[in-house]
Amino acid sequence: MKPAVLTGEHFITGDVACAEGALAAGCRFFAGYPITPATEIAEHMASRLPHVCGTFIQMEDEIAAMAAVLGASNAGVKSMTATSGPGFSLIMENLGLGICTETPCVVVNVQRAGPSTGLPTLGAQGDMMQARWGSHGHYEIITLAPSSPQELFYQTITAFNMSETYRLPVLIMTDEVTGHLSERVVIPEPGAIQLQTRPVPKGRKDRFKPFQPGPNGVAPMGIAGGGYGLHVTGLTHDERGYPCMNPETQAEMLDRLTGKIRRNLKDILLTESYRLDDADIALVSYGVSSRSSLAAVDEARQAGIKAGLLRLITVWPFPEERIRELSRKVKCLVTVEINLGQIHLEVQRCSEGRIPVCLVGHAGGTVISPDTIVDRLKGLLQSLHA
């Protein structure tokens, strides 16, 4: 029997690091379906969960996997699934159920190039808008974008913590390159890992209202078998959890679902700045592209271009204020991502036309090289001076 937290130094892939992060975060239920390039997460969970009294099940499709994850979480167990492009599309249905029923869980998307079957073995960042709006209806969601195996380990823990704290599915949007990249990953002592658990109801069980928000906007969560006589539904429901088919209840419910995120942005939004203090041009990037961007900033600086990088760790909710602020400071914003402009649209929106916003991106299948970015920056500088 191996312990849940494999403290020490490892040389492992991002997929494996993600699985280890989940175990360290207390995940004890994984339901999944094989799909390149996320399969290794399922495989690793399948071999590791039996060691920690957890349960692994390979379901008949990703729809079922997501449903099982929600069922397990409602039974009180931290749960996760991992998938890629086509599977992510199937997950969307029950992702909505997870949002509506405020069920904590983590969904990993190891992105590959699409649309459709696309390039199963090659990376992209083309599902970023699907992560934001892929399930129907209006909602808020938390999405993290790790850029290395080490980060996949830590951000998976963060994702579980946020999902438990705010009671919703949290997405980890990584990509084929990071998922398959082997790097040094340091796993700390269990005591050094901070874990959050969902808010627990207090007071009389018969008076408990399962969707009545607490002080931070999040309702304490009752679990199946806990003696609360819960009713949980994907229909529009009131604080008792009862279906109520009217615009007022719909407005109240959406206010709860979005409010618990919008009111806690300070704790949810994670970004990292690199050499932005005196920058003329700010790169905005996330995931594997932020690694290229980081190298490009140094290269550009050597070439005399005052570049900096804002790395988004939390992509959704979008760090609007940070971009707005940046657009008042620098002369130009450059979004770097492996698609033809998704987060780019958000950067444009938040810069509010103050400065030019450019995209360095392509259709997917390979990473963006730092040289491509630097060349683009050089061209930009010329046009800015012209």
Partner 1 sequence: MEKTRTRSEHPLNDLLRTDRIPHIWCPGCGIGTAFSSCLVAVKAAGLDLRKTVMVSGIGCSGRGAGYTKLDSYHTTHGRAIPFATGMKLANPELNVVVFSGDGDLFAIGGNHFIHAARRNVDLTVVCVNNLNYGMTGGQAAATTPSMAKTTTTPLGNPEPPFNLPLLAFAAGATYVARWTILHTRDLTKSIEEALTRRGFSFVEVLAPCPTGYGRRNREKPLDSLKIYQERTITRNGANPAEVTLDFHRGITLGKFVDLERPTFLDAYEKVCSLTQ
Using CB under 8 A as the binding rule, whether residue 69 contacts partner 1 is answered as yes
Tally the residues of the chain.
Answer: 386
CB of 222 to partner 1, least distance (A): 8
Interface residues for partner 1 in 214-233 (CB under 8 A)? 224-233
327, exposed or middle or buried, with CB in 10 Å at 0-12, 13-18, 19+? Answer: buried
Q: Do 330 and 254 contact (CB within 8 A), yes or no?
A: no
Q: Which of 13, 39, 79, 236 is the binder for partner 1 (CB under 8 A)?
A: 79
Binding mask 113-152 for partner 1 (x = CB under 8 A): ----------------------------------------
CB of 46 to partner 1, least distance (A): 10
CB of 210 to partner 1, least distance (A): 10
Tell me which H or E stretch contains 45.
helix 39-48
Closest by Cα among 180, 110, 155 to 20: 155
Using CB under 8 A as the binding rule, whether residue 68 contacts partner 1 is answered as yes
**Contact range with partner 1 by CB under 8 A, out of 71-79, 142-150, 336-344, 360-368:** 71-79
Interface residues for partner 1 in 232-261 (CB under 8 A)? 232-235, 242-243
Closest by Cα among 41, 160, 54, 163 to 98: 163
Binding mask 168-207 for partner 1 (x = CB under 8 A): ----------------------------------------
Query: Which tokens hold the place of 242?
Result: 């009862």
Using CB under 8 A as the binding rule, whether residue 355 contacts partner 1 is answered as no
- Rounded distance, CA 34 to CA 14, Å? 17
C-alpha 204: how far from chain center: 36
Q: Which of 19, 27, 70, 124 is the binder for partner 1 (CB under 8 A)?
A: 70
198, exposed or middle or buried, with CB in 10 Å at 0-12, 13-18, 19+? Answer: buried
Using CB under 8 A as the binding rule, whether residue 323 contacts partner 1 is answered as no
C-alpha dist (Å) from residue 180 to 10, 33, 269: 15, 18, 27
Where on the chain is the footprint of partner 1 (CB under 8 A)? 1, 28-29, 31, 50-51, 53, 55, 57, 59-61, 63-65, 67-77, 79, 93-94, 96-97, 101, 224-235, 242-243
